[in-house]
Amino acid sequence: MMTIILTRLNEKMEIDPVTAAFVIGGIALFVNQRIANYGYNRAIREAKLALIIVVIVIVIIIILYFLIKKIWLYAKSKKSYEKSFKIEEKAITKEEDSESIEIEEPKEELPQIEEECITESPENEEECKPKPKKAKIAQRKNITIDLDENKRFFRHKELKLEEVEYLLAKGYRISEHRSLSSNKREKYLLKPRFNENDNHCYFVYAIAEFLESKRIIVSLFATVKPDLTFMIDGIRYAIEVETGNKINKDKKLIINKAEYMKNNFDYWFFVVINRNFVKRYRKIGKTVDIRYLSTSLKKLVN
């Protein structure tokens, strides 16, 4: 309680802790002297001694308290001072940096003064008028496309870019297949007929191209007759290309086609693209697996 009172007094009246200790000590001595003058008995003297010891202890605690508080306040004020000093130092460096930046003001462009054209006579005023610049005209190259669009079969690598674009515009499609001659996959431009897909179109025209490269005249058909017919040394040949799935849809049509070739040609056979159907076609007539087509054609022409 006494510590609180002294703290309040110190905050309000700014009393130094040493002074407060002397005051309390003086009060304790005064009380001691007063008790001694009256000559109380031994019990009173022991109580007096205990009271003095208590007062001295309290004074020491108060002195220590105020000393610690002074040290703490001093450290706190020093820390805040150093912090404010660093902030001011940063502000100064920023001001110096901002002063070192030079801002270039935009230069005003002077209006261009057109020179007056002075002529000796008004008849020459047209000379002063600005002459129009000649416009550059883009010249387009004349490209000549010399292709038969009805051929339906072209090798991509043998065509120019302009020719590829021309064929695509005419309804051709780019398709990749294994070549009969090189056995490598190549790109082709194909235009299938109304009743065939890309695979059927490729093999029909690839067989025709192979035979024509051997100087054999080939006829192509799209309906009742076989896909390819040709003649070698007076022998009539016919080839019917099948994707394979037609035998599931209309087996009777396949049988009728086989009967037609048997009655009108000396030698004929089926070429089946899907090898899973080869056995079923062989029950109807001679059939060549697509994997062995190149070998069969070479034997045929040799």
pTM of the model: 0.52
CA-based nearest residue to 278, from 242, 225, 229:
242
- Which tokens is 129 given? 């008028």
Across the range 214-227, mean pLDDT stands at: 91
Specify the range with the lowest mean pLDDT, choosing from 34-48, 167-181, 210-224, 268-282.
Answer: 34-48
177: β partners: 186
Across the range 293-298, mean pLDDT stands at: 92
**Sign of the torsion formed by the C-alpha atoms of 173, 174, 176 and 178:** positive
Residue 108 predicted with pLDDT over 60: no
Cα–Cα dist 155/188, whole Å: 5
269: β partners: 239
C-beta neighbour count of 216 within 10 angstroms = 15
Cα–Cα dist 20/60, whole Å: 11
C-beta neighbour count of 210 within 10 angstroms = 20
Q: What percent of the chain has pLDDT over 90?
A: 41
- Which tokens is 77 given? 């004020």
- Which tokens is 103 given? 């801002």
CB 271 within 8 A of CB 264: no
What value does the mean pLDDT of the chain take?
78
- Name which residue leads in pLDDT, 109 or 291: 291
List the alpha helices (DSSP H) in the chain. Answer: 2-13, 17-38, 42-100, 161-169, 198-213, 246-249, 251-264, 278-282, 293-301
Across the range 182-208, mean pLDDT stands at: 92
Instruction: Write out the DSSP string of 110-164.
Output: PPPPPPPP--SSGGGGGGGSPPPPPPPPPPPP-------TTS-EEEGGGS-HHHH
Output phi, psi for 241, to 5 deg.
-90, 130
Residue 12 predicted with pLDDT over 60: no
- Which tokens is 10 given? 């110190």
Residue 94 predicted with pLDDT over 90: no
Under the banding of pLDDT at 50, 70 and 90, the label for residue 66 is confident
As a residue count, the chain comes to: 302
CA-based nearest residue to 241, from 260, 259, 231, 254:
254
C-beta neighbour count of 207 within 10 angstroms = 22
pLDDT of residue 223: 79
pLDDT of residue 32: 65
Cα–Cα dist 202/176, whole Å: 9
pLDDT of residue 141: 65
